[in-house]
Every structure is written in structure tokens, then in C-alpha cells.
């Protein structure tokens, strides 16, 4: 079974995306193709990149990096649930990505973006794609953008709009297909 880590990329304590990420985790489990691990970047609580050596060396001086490395290493594929800040992905998320290198390589990744406004964070997802391909990740062809996030979260958690579960299933299908392809030699 593909080990899928669903990463909630938000770090604000009052994040509206956290309930969305929990819903993505539930949907991924229901899908059936994945062994799902939720990852909350706020709990990982990385500092700004403080490793003396490049991530590409794999020589990590700090325990927080080794723990983050082991967690990312243990995944076959990812879904990133990411907020949009000022038209782009967030600084803490890019920082967490930059901490590692080999651990990301060759792994499928699906994007679920969200924002308060009408775009659903699609521009943030678009901007992240070159970063992910640069790292040798395999982005899913389909992605999900969730507009008006604040109106969709409440005491009951995240309330998906019509069609969203189907869109997310498309991302899962893409990830499952990419995970099946043999790694390049």
C-alpha cells in the first residue's frame, strides 16, 4: 500500500486549513489505496533553516532535521494542503521543504490549496509546482483549490462544497498512478 502523508502546511494556531486537512485525511483513508499519515507543520515546529551543510549532503547537525527527514523519508507520496498568503505559498512551508532534498525525490505529490478569496489559492499551487519539480517530485496532473475557506469551516469541521470530494478523488487517482510507475533508473 502506498504510504501517503497528508501535510497540513499551515502554522497559524487558528488555521482554517487544519479542518480541511483533516477532511483530506478522512477522504484519503476512505479511498482505500493509501496508508495515511497526517502531518501538521505547526506541530513539527521547525526553526528557520539552521543546518550548516546543504540538504543535498544528507548530513544533518540537528535533531529536528533528522526527525523531519525520517518522517518525510517514511512516505511514498504526499498531499500538501496549503494556504495562500499574499498570492503565494507561505514562508514556513518553503522553509520546511528546503530543510530536505533526497527525501522528496521521485515522490508523487498532490496539491490542495485554499484561501479566503475566490482563487482558492490556485496561484500559490502554481508557484509551488516549479519548486517541487526542481526537487524531483512528481506532481499530480490534477489539483484542488478551495475558495472561501473561512465560510466552510466551523464547529463541525470542514464542510465540503458540492463536487469537491470528486475533485479530490481525481488527485488521489493521479497519485496512485504515479506511485505505481517504476522509478527512473
Interface residues with ligand FMN (CB under 6 A) are 10, 12, 15-17, 83-87, 115-117, 149-150
| Identity of the residue, 83 or 139, whose beta carbon is nearer to ligand FMN in the bound complex | 83
| Identity of the residue, 69 or 115, whose beta carbon is nearer to ligand FMN in the bound complex | 115
What is the smallest separation between the CB atom of 134 and ligand FMN, expressed in angstroms?
A: 23
What is the smallest separation between the CB atom of 108 and ligand FMN, expressed in angstroms?
A: 23
The residue number with the shortest CB distance to ligand FMN is: 117
What is the smallest separation between the CB atom of 57 and ligand FMN, expressed in angstroms?
A: 32
Spatial contact of 153 and 19, defined as CB atoms under 8 Å apart: yes
| Identity of the residue, 100 or 124, whose beta carbon is nearer to ligand FMN in the bound complex | 124
Q: State the DSSP string of 113-179.
A: EE-SSTTTTHHHHHHHHHHHHHTT-EE-S--EEE-SHHHHEETTEE-PPTTHHHHHHHHHHHHHHHH
User: b or e along 159-171 (b: 16 or more beta carbons within 10 Å of the residue's beta carbon)?
Assistant: ebeeebeebbbeb
What is the smallest separation between the CB atom of 183 and ligand FMN, expressed in angstroms?
A: 33
Amino acid at each position: 500500500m502506498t504510504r501517503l502523508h497528508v501535510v497540513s502546511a499551515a502554522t497559524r494556531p487558528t488555521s482554517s486549513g487544519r479542518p480541511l486537512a483533516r477532511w483530506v485525511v478522512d477522504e484519503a483513508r476512505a479511498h482505500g489505496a493509501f496508508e495515511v499519515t497526517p502531518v501538521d507543520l505547526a506541530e513539527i515546529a521547525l526553526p528557520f533553516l539552521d543546518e550548516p551543510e546543504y540538504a543535498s549532503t544528507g548530513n544533518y547537525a540537528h535533531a529536528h532535521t533528522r526527525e523531519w527527514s525520517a518522517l518525510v523519508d517514511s512516505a511514498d507520496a504526499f498531499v500538501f494542503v496549503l494556504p495562500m498568503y499574499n498570492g503565494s505559498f507561505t514562508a514556513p512551508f518553503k522553509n520546511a521543504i528546503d530543510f530536505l532534498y533526497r527525501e522528496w525525490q521521485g515522490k508523487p505529490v498532490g496539491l490542495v490549496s485554499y484561501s479566503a478569496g475566490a482563487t482558492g489559492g490556485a496561484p500559490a499551487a502554481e508557484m509551488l509546482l516549479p519548486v517541487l519539480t526542481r526537487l524531483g517530485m512528481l506532481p499530480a496532473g490534477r489539483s484542488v483549490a478551495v475558495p472561501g475557506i473561512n465560510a466552510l469551516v466551523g464547529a463541525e469541521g470542514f464542510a465540503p462544497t458540492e463536487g469537491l470530494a470528486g475533485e479530490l478523488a481525481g488527485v488521489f487517482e493521479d497519485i496512485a498512478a504515479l506511485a505505481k510507475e517504476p522509478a527512473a533508473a
